[in-house]
């Protein structure tokens, strides 16, 4: 994990909810990391692995609302979590989502917030829940007998490519997952990346870990001469997103499944990382 900045802000937006007015003062943290994995464990993972963890139904982020039929991907993710024996699927709560926690990669043109830039560490931001939300979560967690609650969202964010030591540029997407960049447009402009973002909090609503795993970029090929519009997701790509596979991995898993598994391995210490170990050297601090 790289640089961390924590403070208090009057939150105008929850990434896991909707735009709202200033609801309350809540914890705000900014994390920086030069390359994947994009995650920050505030507490030691060994405090989490043996505890009861619940997961809320997966949500669709505001950045993806224009994509048609993303409910298919959300349903796949909910089923995936439902088949893990180390996490308990939870029913939707009555807690106002706009008062809950949020996490997102800082946008390239975010006004009033830190911005991404070429050849700089990736910056992502976290918002904690309001005091009212935290109280409600405590009661909800006690009712469902869980020690930690995981909030998961499908969203997208602009990622900049970075220079490679041997020359050329590369777009880092997730753990052990990157794509070479060969076009001028993709080298100079941010590329939209579909991502799975997660926030893990304890029963009091205190932050335990945050993380983001990229699923796939808006354009997989970065072909020479590609139009700038190819750097953003079209509105009809939901089917391709749900079916896309990580052909760079031996088993060729679905891209979203690899992202979900790596995210849970990093944040929860559950399952094995999916990566090419001969090429990438990552380790989990358990």
In this predicted structure, the answer to whether residue 280 has a pLDDT above a threshold of 60 is no
In this predicted structure, the answer to whether residue 133 has a pLDDT above a threshold of 70 is yes
C-alpha to C-alpha distance for 37 and 273, rounded to whole angstroms: 11
pLDDT of residue 279: 41
Helix (H) or strand (E) holding 195: strand 191-202
Average pLDDT on 92-107 reads 80
In this predicted structure, the answer to whether residue 135 has a pLDDT above a threshold of 80 is yes
Residues in the chain: 286
In sequence order, the 6+-apart residues with CB closer than 8 A to the CB of 104 are: 15, 61, 63, 124, 125, 155, 157, 197, 212
Whether the model clears a pTM of 0.75, i.e. scores above it, the answer is yes
In this predicted structure, the answer to whether residue 6 has a pLDDT above a threshold of 90 is no
pLDDT bin (cut points 50, 70, 90) of residue 65 is low
Q: What is the mean pLDDT of the chain?
A: 77
pLDDT of residue 50: 80
pLDDT in tens, 73-94: 899 999 999 999 999 999 887 8
In this predicted structure, the answer to whether residue 180 has a pLDDT above a threshold of 80 is yes
pLDDT of residue 230: 53
pLDDT of residue 22: 40
The residue among 33 and 116 whose pLDDT is bigger is: 33
pLDDT of residue 19: 31
pLDDT of residue 17: 37
In this predicted structure, the answer to whether residue 114 has a pLDDT above a threshold of 50 is no
What does the domain layout of the chain look like in residue ranges? Answer: 38-94+129-268
Task: Give, in degrees to the nearest 5, the angle at Cα 276 between 172 and 173.
Answer: 15
C-alpha to C-alpha distance for 65 and 82, rounded to whole angstroms: 24
pLDDT of residue 45: 73
What is the dihedral angle through the alpha carbons of 52, 53, 54, 60, rounded to the nearest 10 degrees? Answer: 180
pLDDT bin (cut points 50, 70, 90) of residue 254 is very high
pLDDT in tens, 196-249: 999 999 999 999 999 999 998 886 555 455 555 556 677 667 777 888 899 889
- Highest averaged pLDDT of the listed ranges 16-25, 87-96, 194-203, 272-281: 194-203
In this predicted structure, the answer to whether residue 159 has a pLDDT above a threshold of 60 is yes
The pLDDT > 90 percentage for the chain reads 33
In this predicted structure, the answer to whether residue 267 has a pLDDT above a threshold of 80 is yes
Per the omega criterion (within 30 degrees of 0), is the bond before 20 cis? no
The pLDDT > 70 percentage for the chain reads 72
pLDDT of residue 271: 82
Give the least confident one: 54-63, 110-119, 151-160: 110-119
């Amino acid at each position: 994990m790289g640089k961390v900045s924590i403070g208090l802000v009057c939150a105008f937006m929850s990434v896991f909810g909707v735009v709202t007015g200033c609801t309350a003062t809540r914890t705000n943290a900014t994390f920086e990391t030069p390359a994947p994995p994009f995650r920050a464990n505030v507490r030691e993972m060994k405090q989490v692995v043996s505890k009861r963890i619940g997961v809320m139904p997966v949500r669709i982020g505001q950045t993806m609302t224009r994509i048609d039929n993303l409910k298919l991907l959300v349903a796949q993710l909910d089923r995936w979590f439902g088949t893990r024996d180390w996490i308990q699927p939870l029913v939707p709560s009555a807690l106002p989502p706009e008062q809950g926690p949020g996490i997102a990669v800082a946008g390239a043109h975010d006004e009033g917030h830190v911005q991404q830039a070429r050849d700089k560490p990736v910056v992502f931001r976290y918002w904690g829940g309001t005091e009212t939300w935290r109280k409600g979560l405590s009661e909800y967690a006690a009712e469902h007998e869980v020690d930690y609650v995981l909030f998961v969202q499908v969203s997208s964010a602009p990622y900049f490519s970075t220079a490679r030591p041997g020359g050329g540029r590369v777009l880092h997407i997730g753990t052990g997952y990157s794509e070479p960049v060969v076009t001028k447009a993709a080298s100079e402009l941010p590329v939209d990346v579909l991502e799975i973002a997660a926030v893990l909090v304890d029963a009091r609503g205190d932050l335990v870990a945050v993380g983001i795993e990229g699923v796939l970029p808006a354009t997989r090929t970065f072909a020479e001469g590609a139009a700038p519009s190819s750097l953003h997701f079209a509105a009809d790509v939901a089917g391709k997103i749900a079916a896309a596979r990580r052909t760079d991995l031996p088993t060729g898993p679905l891209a979203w499944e690899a992202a979900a598994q790596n995210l849970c391995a990093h944040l929860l210490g559950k399952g094995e990382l999916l990566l090419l170990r001969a090429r990438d050297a990552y380790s989990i601090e358990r």
